[in-house]
């Protein structure tokens, strides 16, 4: 008999018999109550499950016990490296706590977000991590009103009440600007994707304007047009060329609002044959290639693993609370500066023997 047939026929009762324990003990092991069992019992049950190839029917268990052991995650753009890294943290935390994770990608489309939320509600998810595409939809409001715990990831939704886990966006801009000023750059260009769809982009842009108003540097802002199509890259190159070659002789630097922008700007600067360091470049979000590009690109790394785990912790706290409609909580993390050559201005060479040439 094949292993697949054994797995299909194995039952929780057979696991109990094989391990020499009660059916209740197996249920506790599978249901997130392992701490109530001794280490010896846990070991025997785990070995029997592996030996028999037993796989619990999570949907059936949810219908019977009123809990699905499912959490849902709605991601605005699953191609974004930030989303991928946070997703890993969420999945790891779910697995450790005995939950399975359903993930839906919206491509920043509110219509797709509504469809995915309706689907997740049909699967009776016990909680949702939402990286929202825009305004709170009727489906999201309905889930909240039904008492489904929700955590907003990175982006808030106006007056919509929910726990929020993300980055301290004002502080990340302060850290970036302070680093660039310390390195001697005095004319900064902030490059961002459209801020309207994401509160985190809005907060970063607002803080940049506030810092510029303090008068420590000259600042400009360029917002990429998502509808520019084939002209988008050409427009970005033209904008960067104008900035880099400006009449102002004060040292210049580019501050990129996220990883997608950093990649686009790095490509454009390479096409323009710009020397990094002479023109500074700092990106928010650490990407694998940043250490390898030119002299290395200075970044502000988000603790994505911790952010993902914190989102799950927040959901599970909500599940345990009675009532669940306690005041919403916000958990902000701090980015870590990783300085590299892209913000290291070249030293001027001193004439030999103090003589000018």
What does the pLDDT average to over 72-88?
90
Task: Please write the tens of the pLDDT for every residue from 190-199.
Answer: 999 988 878 8
* Res. 356 pLDDT band, cuts 50 70 90: very low
Task: Please write the tens of the pLDDT for every residue from 31-77.
Answer: 767 888 999 999 999 999 888 888 766 555 554 555 778 999 999 88
* Res. 5 pLDDT band, cuts 50 70 90: very low
What does the pLDDT average to over 11-29?
89
**Lowest mean pLDDT, pick from 33-37, 137-141, 164-168, 347-351:** 347-351
356 vs 344, residue with greater confidence: 344
182 vs 122, residue with greater confidence: 182
* Residue-level pLDDT at 6: 45
* Residue-level pLDDT at 68: 75
Burial of 112 (0-12, 13-18, 19+ CB in 10 A): middle
**Residue ranges of domains in the chain:** 3-56, 67-166+304-333, 169-302+338-343
Topology agreement, domain 67-166+304-333 and domain 169-302+338-343: yes
* Res. 187 pLDDT band, cuts 50 70 90: very high
CATH number belonging to domain 67-166+304-333: 3.40.50.2300
Contact predicate 147/321, CB 8 Å:
no
**Predicted TM-score of the model (pTM):** 0.76
54 vs 305, residue with greater confidence: 305
**Which residues are CB-contacts of 88 (< 8 A; sequence separation ≥ 6)?**
304, 305, 308
214 vs 8, residue with greater confidence: 214
Within the chain, residue ranges assigned H as helices are: 3-9, 12-19, 23-30, 39-52, 58-65, 81-96, 110-122, 138-145, 169-182, 199-213, 231-244, 259-271, 304-320
Task: Please write the tens of the pLDDT for every residue from 100-136.
Answer: 999 999 888 888 888 888 888 888 888 999 887 666 6
Residue 302 has pLDDT above 80, yes or no: yes
* Residue-level pLDDT at 344: 95
Percent of the chain with pLDDT over 70: 88
The two three-digit tokens of residue 16, written as one number: 């109990």
Neighbours of 43 (CB within 10 A): 12
Range ranked top by mean pLDDT from 27-31, 276-280, 314-318: 276-280
* Residue-level pLDDT at 113: 86
* Residue-level pLDDT at 332: 94
* Residue-level pLDDT at 4: 42
Residue 201 has pLDDT above 60, yes or no: yes
Residue 80 has pLDDT above 80, yes or no: yes
CATH number belonging to domain 169-302+338-343: 3.40.50.2300
* Residue-level pLDDT at 198: 82
**CATH class entry, domain 3-56:** mainly alpha
Q: Which residue from 321, 240, 324, 307 is spatially nearest to 274, judged by alpha carbons?
A: 240
**Lowest mean pLDDT, pick from 28-32, 63-67, 173-177:** 63-67
**Lowest mean pLDDT, pick from 21-25, 93-97, 121-125, 231-235:** 121-125
What is the pairing mode between strands 150-153 and 187-192?
unpaired
Q: Which residue from 326, 348, 354, 345 is spatially nearest to 150, judged by alpha carbons?
A: 326
Average pLDDT, the chain: 86
């Amino acid at each position: 008999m094949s292993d697949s047939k054994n797995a299909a026929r194995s039952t929780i009762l057979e696991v109990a018999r094989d391990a020499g324990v009660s059916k209740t003990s197996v249920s506790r092991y599978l249901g997130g109550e392992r701490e109530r069992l001794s280490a010896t019992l846990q070991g025997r049950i785990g070995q029997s499950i592996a030996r028999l190839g037993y796989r619990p029917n999570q949907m059936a268990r949810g219908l019977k016990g009123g809990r699905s052991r499912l959490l849902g995650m709605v991601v605005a753009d699953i191609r974004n490296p930030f989303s991928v890294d946070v997703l890993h943290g969420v999945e790891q935390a779910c697995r450790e706590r005995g939950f399975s994770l359903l993930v839906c990608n919206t491509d920043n489309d509110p219509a797709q977000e509504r469809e995915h939320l309706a689907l997740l509600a049909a699967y009776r998810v016990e909680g949702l991590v939402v990286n929202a595409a825009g305004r709170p939809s009727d489906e999201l409001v309905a889930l909240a009103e039904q008492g489904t715990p929700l955590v907003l990831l990175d982006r808030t939704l106006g007056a919509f009440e929910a726990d929020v886990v993300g980055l301290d966006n004002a502080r990340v801009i302060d850290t970036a600007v302070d680093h660039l000023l310390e390195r001697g750059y005095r004319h900064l260009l902030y490059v961002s994707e459209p801020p309207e769809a994401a509160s985190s982009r809005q907060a970063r842009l607002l803080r940049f304007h506030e810092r510029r108003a303090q008068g420590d540097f000259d600042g400009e802002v360029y917002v990429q047009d998502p509808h520019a199509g084939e002209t988008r890259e050409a427009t970005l190159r033209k904008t960067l060329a104008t900035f880099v070659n400006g009449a102002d002789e004060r040292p210049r630097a580019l501050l990129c609002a996220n990883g997608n922008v950093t990649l686009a700007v790095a490509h454009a600067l390479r096409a323009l044959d710009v020397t990094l360091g002479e023109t500074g470049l700092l990106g928010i979000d650490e990407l694998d290639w940043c250490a390898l590009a030119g002299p290395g690109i200075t970044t502000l790394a988000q603790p994505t693993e911790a952010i993902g785990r914190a989102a799950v912790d927040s959901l599970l706290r909500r599940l345990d609370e009675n009532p669940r409609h306690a005041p919403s909580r916000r958990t902000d993390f701090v980015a870590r500066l990783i300085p590299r050559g892209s913000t290291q201005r070249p030293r001027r060479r001193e004439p030999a023997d103090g003589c000018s040439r």
